Amino acid sequence: MSIITKHYDVYGFGVVLLVLLTGQEAFDANRPDEREDIRSYVEDLVQKERFNEIVDPKIVEEEGEI
């Protein structure tokens, strides 16, 4: 049996923020196995310094700046 702690709430809140920021689903089976969950997806882009690919284009200003 699992014990739910405040850490789960913090993690869940982080996932919600990533969904809003990226416009991606929290889990996407169409992404490669190691990037199916949104945390791994964003972590991979950060490690590759591809920050512009993280933010949903719908929330980027017309000039292309965040």
pLDDT for res 33: 76
Domain assignment of residue 58, yes or no: no
Q: Which domain covers residue 21, as residue numbers? A: 17-53
The answer to the question of residue 23 being in a domain is: yes
SS3 letters across 8-57: HHHHHHHHHHHHHHHCCCCECCCCCHHHCEHHHHHHHHHHCCCHHHCCCH
What's the token pair of residue 23? 């416009």
pTM, entire model: 0.76
Residue 66 CA to residue 5 CA, distance in Å, equals: 34
Looking at the 3D structure of the chain, how many domains does it have? 1
Residue 31 lies in a domain: yes
pLDDT of residue 5: 78
If pLDDT is split at 50, 70 and 90, which confidence band does 64 have?
low
pLDDT digits (tens, 9 = 90+) for 11-51: 899 999 999 999 999 998 888 877 889 999 999 999 999 98
